[in-house]
């Protein structure tokens, strides 16, 4: 697609690009100038995204969560009702709407509990796709490797970490590490361990979440606990605490759905796509993750449905299923596109967690990952700069979201996120506000990821950015 910028925009963009040479670099606020007349559609969509439309969708989904015990994970009644809500809104806006049935192997947790010989109940989550404890579970002594207090930590990533400890026949407790839980589990197993529990190095010591292990699962059963629980276990005299650990799960054949809506207007062979996932984690209602982004996409769709003046290229809106089960819906979609269908997609824009209470504001730099991805990435960077909104740049494939299967096809992609488990630095707090030393989203995959956790001004800021970029590409200005 052709570039269309004024000389002032081009100069501003050059400064922005020069500022993004690092893996995590601040884009400074810049003086804004007059927008090109060719971006009229982008400006109209941007203005529409500034109303309460996205927030009203969040209110509707919160009502769905309230009616379903705060459960909206893939396959639940709350999830199905969410899909129906979005489908109905899209149909009412005049789109061709369809659902793609997606088969997959779903991991179901059947039992997860941990209790010590000192009658301490330890909250625990089974790691998805890991092995179950055998028979009646594991009864074994607990060995806690030296407690780490802050990330990153490499404890448990080397065979030497287990040497000299009574690991044989024990349940081993290690911190989250970039080396990966599979690496830690394999090393612990070689040292004789019978199970592995992982804790997280988050600011809130009681915080933990359910995770997955990808690829070939280690033989050891895997679970996660909080840092507070790990410290309690570590405080006991060595060899005095045993644990009854039950982790049981199984695979079932199941189906999810991807929901799509496409305009009947515009060039059907130059399709501009925007999307977000509709499912939540199983531990909370998922209003920021990811209805904040899905609601922003829906608001753009409704505005275009009401008035498609200036639309040159067709627009497709995608709402993915089972993202939390590791990109199930988007992977299936990407793998089942024909060569012509792939060629018809001009670009894809993805969004995740755009309204967290202690938000970051990140653009994923996909320019080096996919030929042509500079177009949507540059458009996002330029938009924020034009509006004097500071951002930071993340490397490609850094958020593990639905842009990745599309990117793998060679389709230009762009993505934004507000951050998840990362901890806001003092420099970032000075840049954006919020609280340094706390997670970008303290409610990430928690029961508190509800309407009360939504930052409404930030929802508007990022909704406007998404709308402007979609409008720029739909109008042919990009």
Alpha carbon 405 to chain centroid, angstroms: 14
For 289-316, what is each residue's pLDDT tens digit? 999 999 999 999 999 999 999 999 999 9
**What secondary structure letter does DSSP report for 73?**
B
Q: What phi and psi values does residue 291 have, to the nearest 5 degrees?
A: -70, -25
Beta-carbon count within 10 A of 388 CB: 11
Locate tokens 């540059």: which residue?
378
For 204-228, what is each residue's pLDDT tens digit? 999 999 999 988 889 999 999 999 9
Q: 403 — alpha (psi -120 to 50), left (phi > 0) or beta?
A: alpha
**Strand 345-352 relative to strand 222-225: parallel, antiparallel, unpaired?**
unpaired
pLDDT of residue 105: 95
Per CATH, the number for 106-252 is 3.50.30.30
How far apart (Å, rounded) are the C-alpha atoms in residues 200 and 206? 9
Do the domains 7-95+263-474 and 106-252 sit in the same CATH topology, yes or no? no
pLDDT of residue 238: 77
pLDDT of residue 159: 97
Mean pLDDT calculated for residue range 335-344: 98
Confidence of residue 36 (pLDDT cuts 50, 70, 90): low
Beta bridge partners of 97: 261
pLDDT of residue 13: 41
- Tell which wins on pLDDT, 30 or 356: 356
Topology of domain 7-95+263-474 in CATH is: Aminopeptidase (3.40.630)
How far apart (Å, rounded) are the C-alpha atoms in residues 253 and 104? 6
For 391-407, what is each residue's pLDDT tens digit? 999 998 888 999 999 99
Both tokens of 136, joined, read 């009646």
Beta-carbon count within 10 A of 408 CB: 15
Residue 443 has pLDDT above 80, yes or no: yes
pLDDT of residue 98: 98
pLDDT of residue 243: 97
286 and 448 in contact (C-beta within 8 Å)?
no
For 216-261, what is each residue's pLDDT tens digit? 889 999 999 999 999 999 999 877 899 999 999 999 999 999 999 9
Q: 317 — alpha (psi -120 to 50), left (phi > 0) or beta?
A: beta
Q: How far is CA 380 from CA 18, 22, 254, 366, in A?
A: 15, 17, 37, 11
In the chain, where are the structural domains located? 7-95+263-474, 106-252
Q: 316 — alpha (psi -120 to 50), left (phi > 0) or beta?
A: beta
Alpha carbon 17 to chain centroid, angstroms: 25
Q: How far is CA 318 from CA 67, 271, 296, 352, 360, in A?
A: 25, 12, 12, 13, 24
- The pTM for the full model equals 0.92
Both tokens of 243, joined, read 């644990």
Mind telling me the catalytic residues?
Answer: 323
How far apart (Å, rounded) are the C-alpha atoms in residues 304 and 310? 10
pLDDT of residue 17: 38
Round the average pLDDT of the chain to a whole number and report it.
91
For 340-390, what is each residue's pLDDT tens digit? 999 999 999 999 999 999 999 999 998 887 777 788 999 999 999 999 999
Radius of gyration, alpha carbons of the chain: 23
Please state the length of the chain.
478
Kind plus residue range of the DSSP H or E element containing 431: helix 426-432
pLDDT > 70: what percent of the chain?
92
């Amino acid at each position: 697609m052709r570039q269309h910028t004024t000389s002032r925009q081009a100069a501003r963009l050059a400064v922005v690009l020069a500022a993004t040479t690092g893996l995590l670099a601040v884009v400074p606020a810049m003086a804004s100038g007059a927008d090109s007349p060719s971006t009229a559609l982008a400006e109209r969509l941007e203005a529409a995204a500034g109303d309460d439309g996205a927030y009203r969708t969040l209110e509707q989904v919160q009502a769905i969560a309230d009616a379903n015990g705060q459960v909206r994970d893939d396959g639940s009644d709350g999830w199905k009702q969410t899909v129906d809500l979005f489908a109905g809104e899209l149909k009412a806006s005049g789109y061709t709407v369809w659902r793609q049935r997606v088969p997959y192997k779903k991991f179901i947790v059947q039992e997860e509990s941990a209790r010590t010989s000192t009658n301490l109940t330890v909250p625990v989550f089974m790691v998805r796709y890991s092995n179950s404890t055998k028979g009646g579970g594991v009864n074994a002594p607990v060995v806690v490797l030296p407690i780490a207090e802050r990330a990153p930590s490499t404890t448990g990533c080397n065979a030497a970490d287990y040497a000299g400890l009574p690991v044989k026949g024990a349940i081993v407790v290690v911190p989250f590490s970039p080396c990966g839980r599979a690496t830690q589990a394999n090393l612990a197993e070689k040292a004789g361990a019978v199970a592995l529990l992982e804790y997280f190095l988050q600011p809130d010591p009681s915080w933990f979440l359910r995770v997955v292990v990808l690829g070939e699962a280690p033989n050891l059963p895997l679970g996660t606990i909080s840092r507070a629980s790990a410290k309690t276990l570590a405080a006991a005299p060595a060899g005095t605490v045993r644990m009854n650990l039950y982790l049981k799960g199984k695979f079932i054949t199941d189906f999810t759905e991807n929901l799509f809506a496409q305009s009947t207007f515009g060039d059907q062979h130059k399709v501009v796509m925007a999307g977000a996932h509709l499912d939540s984690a199983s531990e909370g209602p998922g209003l920021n993750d990811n209805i904040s982004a899905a609601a922003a996409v829906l608001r753009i769709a409704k505005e275009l449905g009401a008035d498609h003046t200036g639309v040159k290229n067709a627009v497709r809106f995608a709402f993915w299923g089972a993202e939390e089960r590791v990109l199930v819906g988007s992977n299936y979609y990407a793998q089942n596109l024909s060569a012509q269908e792939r060629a018809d997609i001009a670009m894809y824009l993805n969004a995740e967690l755009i309204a967290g209470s202690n938000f970051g504001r990140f653009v994923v730099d996909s320019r080096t990952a996919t030929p042509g991805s500079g177009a949507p990435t540059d458009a996002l960077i330029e938009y924020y700069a034009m509006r004097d909104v500071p951002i930071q740049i993340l490397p490609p494939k850094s958020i593990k979201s639905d842009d990745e299967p599309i990117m793998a096809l060679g389709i230009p992609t762009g993505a934004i996120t507000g951050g998840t488990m990362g901890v806001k630095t003092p420099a970032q707090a000075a840049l954006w506000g919020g609280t340094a030393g706390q997670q970008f989203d303290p409610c990430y995959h928690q029961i508190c990821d509800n309407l009360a956790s939504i930052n409404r001004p930030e929802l508007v800021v990022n909704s406007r950015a998404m709308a402007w970029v979609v409008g720029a590409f739909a109008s042919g200005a990009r």
